[in-house]
Amino acid sequence: MSVELGDKVPAFDLPASLGRRVSAASLLGQFYVVYFYPKADTPGCTKEACGFEEALAALGHTGLTVIGISKDKITALEKFAEKYGLKFPLASDLDGQVVEAFGAWVEKSMYGRKYMGIDRSTFLIGKDGRIAQIWRNVKVPGHATAVIDAAKALG
């Protein structure tokens, strides 16, 4: 299962860092970004999260919500957010239903071994609750800035 440009965003309601909850229903009517990452507090995921934090800070207060989603436990996400001063929500999708609904659960290969894992991917959601832009197989350097720029262009 995978979403395409113009599709309605899959429904989600997840626990997030700092005692928050994030849901598609509560964000309807505003632009927001959902990004999927493999594991909290690993080098690539840390660079990506810090990149989003820095890009949001550079914009000042725009009201754009960025949500990072992984299959990590909420306790791991809390530690990750605290360690790097991440103010945006990091959501826990333990059972992977949201990851799968967005098509971010994929077969990967490392050293000839195949396994299932999270594809580093990002989705810009429009005010109408539809997918406005998709980035798959994300390369971290410069990605957060590109996503924030795309959100600014829509808004």
Domain boundaries, the chain: 13-154
| 45 noted as active-site residue | yes
**pLDDT of res. 141:** 86
Superfamily in which the 13-154 domain is placed by CATH: Glutaredoxin (3.40.30.10)
Direct distance between the N- and C-terminal alpha carbons of the chain, in angstroms, rounded to an integer:
29
0.85 exceeded by pTM? yes
The answer to whether the CB of 29 falls within 8 A of the CB of 104 is no
The residue from 33, 45, 86, 118 that is catalytic is 45
d(CA 1, CA 11): 14
pLDDT (tens, 9 = 90+) of the chain, 155 residues, equals: 688 999 999 999 999 999 999 999 999 999 899 999 999 999 889 999 999 998 887 765 567 889 999 999 999 999 999 999 999 999 999 999 999 999 999 988 889 899 899 999 999 999 999 999 999 988 888 888 888 888 888 87
